Amino acid sequence: MGIKLAPSILAADITKLGDEVRRVEEAGAEWLHLDMMDGHFVPNLSFSPQVVKALRPQSKMFFDVHLMLSEPEKYIDAFAKAGADLITIHLESAEDRDGVLALAEQIHSHKIPAGISIKPKTPVEDLTGLLSAFELVLVMSVEPGFGGQSYIPETTEKIAKLKELINQENPEILIEVDGGITADNIALPVSAGADVLVAGSSVFGAKNPADAIAVLRQNATKGR
Ligand code: DX5
Ligand code: ZN
């Protein structure tokens, strides 16, 4: 699979969200990253299933919904019904391994793929034995909660390590990286094995998001 870019609407101008989404779609972004925060799992609030539902008829992009919620089981069904194409939960939000597997099952019951995310301080080893239950792993390259932070350099090494575990457990799984991705550093996660790159500020904060997407893609390809 080629590299996929996933602009994050957290950095978009919410007073004209529909236009912002169309803009990145026309610029060739394949995925749209939608961050959901509950003020508990992370110290911030963001969107709700209503936003997913409102944007759904506006776009054909793949809706990549990232749940930073303490009790994702309460909201998975609503996000799926609102039009999510993939739902990612956090490993840290489940009580135990059975809890993680139950979340994957709940997402799959809606006939959509499931992702599992780990925060920067969570070691890759904690995913051992869980990868065959998911279609995607989302590696956080900043502490979740806010856009506009800097890429944590150790993430690159972490992705490479994850790649080894994936080769043993589920070679088909996609690796997504989220946080602080810019044109200057995008080749790093890609060279380590990332397939999907989330970019908030570096796309929506740019004067011309279409140009930003083109440069991100060009530089990402150099990492392969
Ligand atoms: C952070 C979010 C990210 C965020 C990335 O908790 O999960 O998706 O929007 O934003 P940038 O690209 O600005 O770091
Ligand atoms: Zn995210």
- CA gap 138, 89 in Å, rounded: 9
| Residues comprising the chain, all counted | 224
List, as own/partner pairs, every contact residues 161-167 make where C-beta atoms lie below 8 angstroms and the sequence separation is at least 24, other chains included: 161/124, 162/124, 162/127, 162/137, 162/193, 163/192, 163/193, 165/124, 165/125, 165/127, 165/128, 165/131, 166/131, 166/137, 166/193
Catalytic residue among 77, 178, 195, 211: 178
Q: So what's the pLDDT on residue 64?
A: 99
Q: So what's the pLDDT on residue 150?
A: 98
Catalytic residue among 13, 19, 35, 38: 35
Contact 176, 62 (CB under 8 A): no
> Per-residue confidence of the chain (224 residues) as pLDDT tens digits?
689 999 999 999 999 999 999 999 999 999 999 999 999 999 999 999 999 999 999 999 999 999 999 999 999 999 999 999 999 999 999 999 999 999 999 999 999 999 999 999 999 999 999 999 999 999 999 999 999 999 999 999 999 999 999 999 999 999 999 999 999 999 999 999 999 999 999 999 999 999 999 999 999 999 88
- CA gap 134, 113 in Å, rounded: 7
Q: So what's the pLDDT on residue 22?
A: 98
- Alpha carbon of 32 to ligand 1 centroid (Å): 12
- Alpha carbon of 64 to ligand 1 centroid (Å): 13
35 part of the active site: yes
Is 83 close to ligand 1, i.e. is its CB under 6 Å away?
Answer: no
Domain that holds residue 116: 4-221
195 part of the active site: no
Q: So what's the pLDDT on residue 136?
A: 99
Element (H, E) at 80: helix 76-82
Kindly report the CATH number assigned to the domain that includes residue 143. Answer: 3.20.20.70
Name the domain count of the chain.
Answer: 1
Q: So what's the pLDDT on residue 88?
A: 99
Six-digit token string for 5: 């870019």
Cα dist from 39 to 84, 157, 167, 182, whole Å: 21, 30, 35, 26
Closest-CA residue to 178 (of 128, 123, 133, 120): 120
Degrees to nearest 5, angle at CA 61 with 11 and 202: 25
Q: So what's the pLDDT on residue 69?
A: 98
Q: What is the DSSP letter of 34?
A: E
Beta-carbon-side half-sphere exposure of residue 91 (alpha carbons within 13 Å): 24
E-only strand ranges, the chain: 4-7, 31-37, 62-68, 86-90, 114-118, 136-140, 174-178, 196-199
